Amino acid sequence: MTERADQFSITLAQLNPTVGDVAGNATKVRAARARARADGADLVVLSELFIAGYPPEDLVLKPAFQSACRAAVEELARETADGGPAVLVGTPWVDDGKLYNACVFLDEGRIAAIRYKVNLPNYGVFDEKRVFARGPASGPVAIRGVRVGVPICEDTWLEESAEYENIVECLAETGAEILVVPNGSPYARGKADIRLSVSVARVTESGLPLVYLNQVGGQDELVFDGASFALNADLSVAAQLPAFEESITTLRWKREAGGWRCNGPVASVLDDDKADYAACVLGLRDYVGKNGFPGVLLGVSGGIDSALCAAIAVDALGADR
């Protein structure tokens, strides 16, 4: 039987994956794990479908890409035999002929557990029902003496209905002590408040602390703002990571009479016009960089819109590009 832990350190790797760059994304996992190890962390967490990059769209339907993601995960799993931190990382995963949006738990040189996304979004920019199979509801994962629930993104977002299972309730009933939620949640004005209210509702229902890890970066027309956070069971903010930039932050949780609690760093987060501008800058930078373009060409009329576009381009790429 695993000994009960009284301290638990989680490294949040709020990073910028590139869709299709399996090797590059795996390299980012290794770098994050090295930081986590230096911090003495038990676990390092990466965002939804990180190995593939998010959203991978039809790329995940290609068998060669599925195999590349699996091979990268298996290699990362073998590397955890060194006694360092365990890893929770998102990846597409084929099981019994079905393709899932999965989060794999890597520890002691092996794939120790796999959790599948149950509630697949099918609205707005999301069409996951088209490419992924619905996973089964599962209980928590035992990580270094702590039972960690791993609902994936949409599994925390909507109330229970005929279409949606209450995954958080299932995890609470099966003994979860902390909820760790990997996300690929794109930016929109006011989105941070919506995420917080959704998470507050899940903490209130379950009585469990919650770690919300979001990716950062631009992908086509979407921008992911990061702005990851954690809530204690009493709804106080345990930590807040910055928005629109990569961040690797280790949170140290302690078991108290009422459960797990953390007092981590709280960064200030941009909102309204400043956040919109930061999203434009990040989106342009990644669109140019991830597509390998040398720079951009601007036709400037002298109007306010041209001036704004020029300012965004300079802030994103530098004046020389």
- Taking every pair of Cα atoms in the chain, the longest distance, rounded to a whole number of angstroms, is 71
Q: Let me know the angle formed at the C-alpha of 303 by 301 and 305, rounded to the nearest 5 degrees.
A: 100
pTM metric for this prediction: 0.95
Domain with CATH 3.60.110.10 in the chain: 7-262
What is the residue type of 213? L
Rounded mean pLDDT for each run of 10 residues along the chain, 321 residues in total: 81 98 98 98 98 96 98 98 97 97 98 97 88 96 96 85 84 97 96 95 96 97 97 97 98 94 95 96 97 93 92 97 95
Among all residues, which ones are annotated catalytic? 48, 117, 153
Please state, in angstroms and rounded to a whole number, the distance separating the CA atoms of residues 196 and 193.
Answer: 5
Does the domain at 7-262 match CATH 3.60.110.10? Answer given as yes
The answer to whether 157 and 185 are in contact (CB under 8 A) is no
Burial class (CB in 10 A: 0-12, 13-18, 19+), 273: exposed
Question: Considering only CA atoms, which of 125, 103, 100 is closest in space to residue 219?
Answer: 125
Instruction: Report the DSSP beta bridge partners of residue 89.
Output: 104
